[in-house]
Amino acid sequence: MGHRCCNKQKIKRGLWSPEEDDKLVTYITTHGHKSWSSVPKFAGLQRCGKSCRLRWTNYLRPDLKRGSFTVEEEQIIIDIHRILGNRWAQIAKHLPGRTDNEVKNFWNSCIKKKLISQGLDPNTHNLLSSSSHHKRNNLSYQNSNSIFILSSQMPLNTNNLIETTQTFASLPTPSTFSPSNQYQTSFNVISNDQLYVSEQEQPRSLTENISNICSTSCNENSIWVSRDDDFRDSTFEEGIKAQVEKEKEKICDEKGMKDKEVNNEKEDIEMNSCFENSNFDFGLLESVLNSEFISHDLDYMDELAWNF
């Protein structure tokens, strides 16, 4: 067997020896890698180009971070995975010094099991136990370091209720929202494993203004909900959609790019910097989409994926 791309050559497979690593590092640092298929030939390696590229990107690259994933990195992986799924290369782009392979392995060996042990489906990030989904407005607290799931039924418009689930891997610090824009509700510790917010305890204004909710956060005792004045006059769904379209048009106009397909890395970086300079809070959008539309409308997944 062997790679089809290099059937004619005598190809070594398996683990790389230190000598092979030396050859590859020496060649790449001196000459770069304009064409991976020619690298083994010029570097004096009996490997295929594909294997060389993998070895370099996953192990020999000087900018790679070594060691265990930090709690912050783990959180980032969980958050982005919730949005994008198994798009390891995209996730790895948000973790400097980490490779897609590393992220994938970390997910499969650690995070996946952790989520399952916490009663979460690692694919959907929803509760594995269906019974919990029938409780209205509840916050599950699985264990001391873990996942919190806030689920509730909210009025999307006059005709429809939307069932939502928002997951927190840790309890975030409450943001410093202005008092006029925030609502607070308490939840009770029912047991060590469950925290509930009963519907009765939810302030009326929270339900009435649900279409204006833009983010939530909580600590051990409270849930904080903020709303954005920009969304005051539109429904929640319309507001999000309009904001996304507006920002995309603005950015594309600025860059002279009407097509949302961004094909090369340079343009990708420019786009990212555009997002960073934009006033629009994509983090906020992300948190909203996580809670509201992740299983509701796949078009929004695409919208979000485009931002990454």
Does 172 sit near DNA (CB under 7 A)?
no
Side-chain half-sphere exposure of 169, counting CA atoms within 13 A: 21
Q: Single out the residue of 25, 54, 252, 257 in contact with DNA (rule: CB under 7 A).
A: 54
Give me the least distance between CB of 289 and DNA, in Å please.
19
* DSSP-derived 3-state class of residue 111: helix
The tokens 């909710």 sit on which residue? 213
Spacing of C-alpha 282 from chain mean position: 12
Does 130 sit near DNA (CB under 7 A)?
no
Q: Are 213 and 284 in contact (CB under 8 A)?
A: no
The β-bridge partners of 213 are 227
- d(C-alpha 185, C-alpha 222), whole Å: 6
Task: Pick the piece of the chain touching DNA (CB under 7 A) from 1-9, 128-136, 144-152, 212-220.
Answer: 1-9
Does 36 sit near DNA (CB under 7 A)?
yes
Give me the least distance between CB of 57 and DNA, in Å please.
7
Q: Are 125 and 115 in contact (CB under 8 A)?
A: yes
Q: Single out the residue of 9, 25, 50, 185 in contact with DNA (rule: CB under 7 A).
A: 50
Q: Single out the residue of 22, 29, 71, 89 in contact with DNA (rule: CB under 7 A).
A: 89
Give me the least distance between CB of 85 and DNA, in Å please.
8
Q: Which residue in 283, 268, 280 sits closest to 217, CA to CA?
A: 283
- d(C-alpha 52, C-alpha 24), whole Å: 7
Give me the least distance between CB of 109 and DNA, in Å please.
3
Residue 258 or 266 having the CB closest to DNA: 266
Show Cβ contacts of residue 21 under 8 Å, excluding neighbours closer than 6 positions: 55, 59, 60
Residue 56 or 183 having the CB closest to DNA: 56
- d(C-alpha 139, C-alpha 166), whole Å: 9
Does 59 sit near DNA (CB under 7 A)?
yes
Does 86 sit near DNA (CB under 7 A)?
yes
Does 13 sit near DNA (CB under 7 A)?
yes
Residue 93 or 241 having the CB closest to DNA: 93
Does 55 sit near DNA (CB under 7 A)?
yes
Q: Single out the residue of 100, 237, 270, 297 in contact with DNA (rule: CB under 7 A).
A: 100
Q: Write down the H helix ranges in the chain.
A: 18-31, 39-43, 49-55, 71-84, 88-92, 100-106, 112-117, 204-208, 236-255, 265-277, 282-292, 298-307
- d(C-alpha 29, C-alpha 11), whole Å: 23
Give me the least distance between CB of 166 and DNA, in Å please.
24
Does 88 sit near DNA (CB under 7 A)?
yes
Residue 171 or 252 having the CB closest to DNA: 252
Residues within the interface to DNA (CB under 7 A): 1-3, 5, 13-16, 33-37, 47, 49-51, 53-55, 58-59, 86-90, 100-102, 104-106, 108-110, 113, 263-264
